[in-house]
Amino acid sequence: MKTYIDNLPKAELHLHIEGTLEPELLFEIANRNHIKIPFESVEAVKAAYQFNCLQDFLDIYYQGAEVLLYERDFYELTYRYLEKCKDQNVKHVEIMFDPQTHTNRGISFQSVITGIRRAMEDAQKHLHVSSFLILSFLRHLSEEAAFETLQQALPFKSWIKAVGLDSSEKGNPPSKFKRVFKAAVQEGWIPLAHAGEEGDATYIWEAIDLLKVQRIDHGNNALQDPNLVAELVKRNVALTVCPLSNKALQVVKSLEEHPLKKMMDVGLKVTVNSDDPAYFGGGINRNFEEIQKALQLGKNELYTIARNSFEYSLLDDKRKQQHLTELETYHLNNMTL
């Protein structure tokens, strides 16, 4: 099964670039930029990655991002992740970035986005991994701050495919960002949002009704409300699920209790993703492998998940079809091995 998963052509739709900062690179960049970090070694950093909830993680994640100062840092971070995509047979990745995490420290929006964008272009050329960029607003900050970020992004409008909403969910419902999402849609960006990770089903209702999102990031708590499930199925809104993240942040007690299979059984469209792989113990293939084992998923179910990753990506229909054809050939040749 591991070989089937490792070689399965797939897309990743839920990935925070700041969450790909491996401890080794954290040290390398911190040394180069003369930034002191409160850890002695890579092992000490890894030992600190114990989380009781989303906020525990976010505190460490924002601290880690403080080593990123220059365009070169964002380039390296992104290119290294895209190399990992290549190694894991990820053909296409939709990368979220949190500009406010950087602009609030005095880093220019331009340095951040130019570094990321150059790496995306180089990866397309040299690794044949395609990628889109999702500008994610930090929901613990104000809507006014999100509007400022939107303004800063406008000179780079064509580099951005979609907008997202992340950070501390509880107490920061989608309704807080209704107007800024409307403005983003008017600019031609596609609306997406985290919802139902720690927040209840009402957060997902608001994301689909008020922000008009095409996909929900996480969406675990959708199963609390059968009417919501029916609506997500009817509106064809997919959930980008992140099993190892859910385990690390104690959204689920164990992977055996993860709702992914139940979601599929009730007709929801789900994908499997790594969220913040440097913090949660593994990349996308590890997420597939662990959830497969825990829930006893068969190859047909894994194939469905990989199909969803292309079908619910933001690629155009022609590119989707090319990936789906390659995937189908792969599955037909490997389903009985």
Work out the number of other CB atoms within 10 angstroms of the CB of residue 182: 13
* The residue to which tokens 């998963």 are assigned: 5
Strand pairing class (215-218; 190-195): parallel
Our CB check for ligand ADE shows the closer of 166 and 311 to be 166
- Shortest separation between residue 94's beta carbon and Zn ion, angstroms: 12
Scanning residues 16 to 45, which ones bind Zn ion (CB under 5 A)?
none
Active site positions, annotated: 197
Does the footprint of ligand ADE cover residue 206 (CB under 6 A)?
Answer: no
3-state class (DSSP) for residue 276? coil
- Shortest separation between residue 61's beta carbon and ligand ADE, angstroms: 6
Partner interacting with residue 286 (select from Zn ion, ligand ADE, none; CB below 5-8 Å by kind)? none
Measured CA to CA, the distance from residue 228 to residue 160 in angstroms comes to 30
Does the footprint of ligand ADE cover residue 246 (CB under 6 A)?
Answer: no
Does the footprint of ligand ADE cover residue 273 (CB under 6 A)?
Answer: no
Start-end of H helices in the chain: 2-7, 23-32, 42-47, 54-65, 71-87, 99-103, 109-126, 143-153, 178-186, 201-209, 226-235, 243-248, 260-265, 284-295, 299-311, 317-334
**The pair of three-digit structure tokens given for residue 149, joined into one six-digit string:** 């970020």
Q: Which of 73, 76, 197, 311 touches ligand ADE by CB under 6 A?
A: 197
The CB-nearest residue to ligand ADE is 166
Work out the number of other CB atoms within 10 angstroms of the CB of residue 226: 11
- Shortest separation between residue 245's beta carbon and ligand ADE, angstroms: 5
- Pattern of binders to ligand ADE over 44-83, x per CB under 6 A? ----------x------x----------------------
10 Å CB burial of residue 118 (0-12, 13-18, 19+) is middle
Residue of 63, 68, 35 whose CA lies nearest to 49? 63
Our CB check for Zn ion shows the closer of 57 and 303 to be 57
Partner interacting with residue 92 (select from ligand ADE, Zn ion, none; CB below 5-8 Å by kind)? none
Binding segment (CB under 5 A) for Zn ion, from list 60-68, 105-113, 114-122, 273-281:
273-281
Our CB check for ligand ADE shows the closer of 58 and 315 to be 58
- Shortest separation between residue 219's beta carbon and ligand ADE, angstroms: 12
Partner interacting with residue 19 (select from Zn ion, ligand ADE, none; CB below 5-8 Å by kind)? ligand ADE
Measured CA to CA, the distance from residue 251 to residue 244 in angstroms comes to 10
Does the footprint of ligand ADE cover residue 276 (CB under 6 A)?
Answer: yes
**The pair of three-digit structure tokens given for residue 209, joined into one six-digit string:** 């009704």
Does the footprint of Zn ion cover residue 275 (CB under 5 A)?
Answer: yes
10 Å CB burial of residue 50 (0-12, 13-18, 19+) is exposed
Does the footprint of ligand ADE cover residue 194 (CB under 6 A)?
Answer: yes
Do 280 and 313 touch, CB atoms closer than 8 A?
A: no
Our CB check for ligand ADE shows the closer of 61 and 288 to be 61
Q: Which residues bind Zn ion (CB under 5 A)?
A: 275
Which residues contact ligand ADE (rule: CB under 6 A)?
16, 19, 54, 61, 166-167, 194, 197, 245, 275-276
